[in-house]
Amino acid sequence: MPLITESKYSVDLHKPNEYVSKKDRLLYFTGIASNENQLVFIDPDNGFEPEKLFNEKHVRYSEVFSTLDQISSESIVSVFQHFRRIKFTHDFIRIRQLLDNSSMAVYTTAIFWYQLMFVLISKSEEKEVREKI
């Protein structure tokens, strides 16, 4: 139990001794606990894969869907997104469109300020944060 907030939560690192590279990405995004409700924070250096150039500093949409497949329906995935020289409102609209292109129903929202944004993704409509951006 964290001492400052006196809340009941813990922070667990997924595969803390592994570095994500091009050759081990599929393996890295496996084995995520599914038996508890959780916030899964994905923190690539730059955020979601751009539509043109992709490297290990991005997370692929397929990796987000793989993560969502493994976690409980009450859990949420949060992805860090660095500023891409596009207004965050426009970037989030495009990210949401790409997330909606899946056969999996997802619900999204975003929080942004200065040079960063967090995109929150849930499989449960009840967990969707309904704030306008």
Helix (H) or strand (E) holding 88: helix 88-100
| 80-109 per-position pLDDT tens digit | 988 888 888 888 899 999 999 888 889 999
Domain 25-127 bears CATH identifier 3.30.110: yes
Max Cα distance, the chain (Å): 45
Question: Which residue in 22, 52, 48 sits closest to 108, CA to CA?
Answer: 48
- Please state, in angstroms and rounded to a whole number, the distance separating the CA atoms of residues 60 and 25: 10
pLDDT of amino acid 77: 94
End-to-end CA distance of the chain: 33
pLDDT of amino acid 127: 55
pLDDT of amino acid 94: 92
pTM of the model: 0.82
